[in-house]
A and B are shown apart, each in its own frame.
Chain A
Amino acid sequence: AQSVAQPEDQVNVAEGNPLTVKCTYSVSGNPYLFWYVQYPNRGLQFLLKYITGDNLVKGSYGFEAEFNKSQTSFHLKKPSALVSDSALYFCAVRGYTGGFKTIFGAGTRLFVKA
């Protein structure tokens, strides 16, 4: 069965510092991994995805994520956090189990303090 874990409900970081939001997954077959961000009272916006190829994926707004197959992880990173990065971040995995289901993690709220 597919699953996604975001072990931290909340991450606090000071502006200018690097940030990491963690995600681990379980899926049979090749994983299709995604990060989305949700700002207050808004829908979800796509940040980046890993399908195949280079393990370091670069996405929108300076975010990147590293795919680690042995650790089944797909952590989201940014070298220098901005206050405007404060939002709710979701990791998601899509995999074929007779149809393409999508499993989302519970979400991690990121607070960036000025």
Chain B
Amino acid sequence: EAQVTQNPRYLITVTGKKLTVTCSQNMNHEYMSWYRQDPGLGLRQIYYSMNVEVTDKGDVPEGYKVSRKEKRNFPLILESPSPNQTSLYFCASSLQGTDTQYFGPGTRLTVL
């Protein structure tokens, strides 16, 4: 089954404790992206990747890191999480940058 998977689905952590949210797709898509969803703000793009080893900032990249070492994986790293990073995070992939995106189920992160 074609899908985007994220782990973990739920995470509660404390300020400053480094964490990684994994994202994997099995559709051989070139484009992958991370978004955060906050009430009243819709989805805002954090980082995206056009292909392996090619990443670029979205609209809200501060406090986040990404890497794209293999085509299928695009982990999101919070090196020193803060409470304002409490949010619902979605990973998405698409064949190309102009194509339909397929979304993962989301990761609900709470930073205390």
Residues of A participating in the B interface, judged by any CB pair closer than 8 Å: 6, 9, 32, 34, 36, 42-46, 49, 51, 90, 92, 94, 96, 98-107
Contacts and interface: CB of A to CB of B under 8 A. Distances in A.
* B31, B43, B102 interface centre (most CB from chain A within 10 Å): B43
Nearest to B90: A43
Nearest to A44: B103
Interface string B83-103: 000000010100011101111
B90 A104 contact: no
Given A34-B100, A42-B105, A46-B101, A102 B42 contact: no
Nearest to B55: A99
B2 interface: no
B81 interface: no
B58 A104 contact: no
Contact of A100 (B31, B42, B100): B31
A73 to B, nearest CB: 17
Contact of A103 (B45, B56, B90): B45
Contacts of B90: 43-44
Interface residues of B, number: 26
B43 A101 contact: no
Contacts of B96: 100
10 contacts: A32-B98, A34-B101, A44-B43, A90-B42, A99-B50, A99-B56, A100-B31, A100-B97, A102-B35, A103-B59
A58 B26 CA distance: 27
A98 B57 CA distance: 11
